[in-house]
Amino acid sequence: MPDRGLDEQLELARTVVGFALEGGADAAEATYTVGDRFSTEARAAQIEKLEQSTARNVTLRVFRGGAKASLVTSDLSAESLRDFARETVEAARFVAGDAYAGLPEPAGDAPPGDELGLYADDVRARPAEDKLADALALERVARAVDSRIVNSSGSRVSDETVALALVNSHGFAGAYRTSQANIGTGPIAEAGGAKYAASYGSASRAYASLESVERVALTAAKRAVGLIGARKPPTMRCPVIFERDVASLVLGDLFAAVSAANVATGNSFLADKVGERIGSALATIVDDGRRPGGLGTSPFDAEGVATRRTVVFERGVLRTFLYDSYYGRRLGAASTGNAAGGGIGPNNFYLEPGPDSLQALIAATPRGVLILDTIGFSTESVTGTYSRGARGYLIEGGEVAHALDEFTIAGSLPEMLAGIDRVASDLVFDQPIVGPSFRVAEMTVSGT
């Protein structure tokens, strides 16, 4: 059954593209987005923040004489849109030309998005009162776990639904709806005058697919209490296990290295290494924009190129970088459907899971460190040098021994990829860049 709302958005986007061509643009692209957003935060027994909004805007990208200009408006009256299009075309006069700028090549109709599981009715249908109750319950359950949990950084519930329509002057027109729901909490434990903060959350396309409020609160609270008495480890070289939330951060650094935007500017340690073995045979890393229900899934990217499944690393061998149409032209490659907000972004970028549980990785580690949280940012993109402050646990005899804090883990992304010797099965697609827990055979842990 046709969606009249999306049809109306497509028609308005077509109108704006027509205005831009009438105003002198050689080519144009209009994206009309409607977003409904809800967010609340509780602390103790009170709601401290409540926000609800609906935003409508049109982004117009025009090309004229090799120059590009892009503007956004929320004034959607016909006369204002005509003026807006004229102003955008005029703005291109003041931009230097770029031989690589332009729309992607014509690709016909948009691929279907209905089977991708992008939208759930329960996000818009869930009453605000139930969301407020969930935020308060997150606080209540977390604080009830242990008397030493005395505060929190807040318990949050948020969601959004977005309807997007994109039209360009090369004949492309496509539209789809998405939804997302999120819950999370950040309890703070206190003992001996020291405070120990932790957090945990869940995100999905639907409220029905989220982890329960009780599970999220209990997990976060146990993490906070588990850090009580944390101390520095000895400085050593040992196996390091990255729990899945931290594994996702490592993969985020790796995504930056495979982005063609960084490769083209010489800001990637992987430049000129396509076809080379970089990682271990356990390192198969994929970007999949068509994975049903993924939070990075969409039928087409931000410039109307159909998304796809791209194997970036195959058993440790670098197979490709990730491109939009601009950097594809610069580097002589086709777009991989990764255009996002004027740059290159992930769809569902992930390390393929292994057969074992996180507990099995711990049991297979005679002495090492389990990382639950990292602090700071220190990855040198050109060389891949990696260094982070961290919190976690010491592993001795295949068991968690005690909590660790105020230490640093260091190595390099190439060495870390090559050193992956165990991968867990706990992959959850709760953000566009995700990973299962994995173990690196040896890294430097700097403590006492």
Residues of the chain with pLDDT > 70, as a percent, come to: 98
**Span of 270-274, 321-325, 341-345, 429-433 with lowest mean pLDDT:** 341-345
As given in the structure block, the two tokens for residue 204 are: 């999905």
HEC profile of 136-199: HHHHHHHHHCCCCEEEEEEEEEEEEEEEEEEEECCCCEEEEEEEEEEEEEEEEEEECCEEEECC
**The pLDDT of residue 115:** 86
Query: Would you say the pTM of this structure is higher than 0.85?
Result: yes
Model confidence at 52, pLDDT cuts 50, 70, 90, reads: very high
**The pLDDT of residue 149:** 97
Section 59-82 average pLDDT: 96
Give, in order, the Cα–Cα distances in Å from 204 to each of 227, 328, 345, 429: 28, 31, 19, 8
Is the pLDDT at 374 greater than 90? The verdict is: yes
The answer to whether the CB of 443 falls within 8 A of the CB of 307 is no
The region, left, alpha or beta by phi > 0 then psi within -120 to 50, assigned to residue 102 is left
**The pLDDT of residue 108:** 62
**Span of 117-131, 380-394, 424-438 with lowest mean pLDDT:** 380-394
**The pLDDT of residue 341:** 85
* Sequence-ordered list of residues with C-beta below 8 angstroms from that of 130, at least 6 positions apart, any chain: none
Pairing of strands 285-288, 236-242: unpaired
Residues of the chain with pLDDT > 90, as a percent, come to: 94
Model confidence at 109, pLDDT cuts 50, 70, 90, reads: low
Is the pLDDT at 111 greater than 80? The verdict is: no
User: What does the DSSP 8-state code read for residue 102?
Assistant: S
HEC profile of 237-248: EEEEEECHHHHH
Give, in order, the Cα–Cα distances in Å from 203 to each of 47, 80, 118, 326, 429: 21, 38, 13, 32, 8
Model confidence at 1, pLDDT cuts 50, 70, 90, reads: very low
Pairing of strands 149-168, 46-64: unpaired
Q: How far apart are CA 410 and CA 389, in angstroms?
A: 9
- For the chain, the average pLDDT equals 95
Is the pLDDT at 2 greater than 60? The verdict is: no
Sketch the domain layout of the chain as residue ranges: 4-225, 230-448
Is the pLDDT at 13 greater than 70? The verdict is: yes
Section 156-183 average pLDDT: 97
CATH code, residues 4-225: 3.30.2290.10
Give, in order, the Cα–Cα distances in Å from 86 to each of 9, 95, 286, 323: 20, 15, 41, 30
Section 63-81 average pLDDT: 96
Q: How far apart are CA 321 and CA 125, in angstroms?
A: 40
Is the pLDDT at 139 greater than 90? The verdict is: yes
| Helix and strand totals (H; E) in the chain | 10, 21
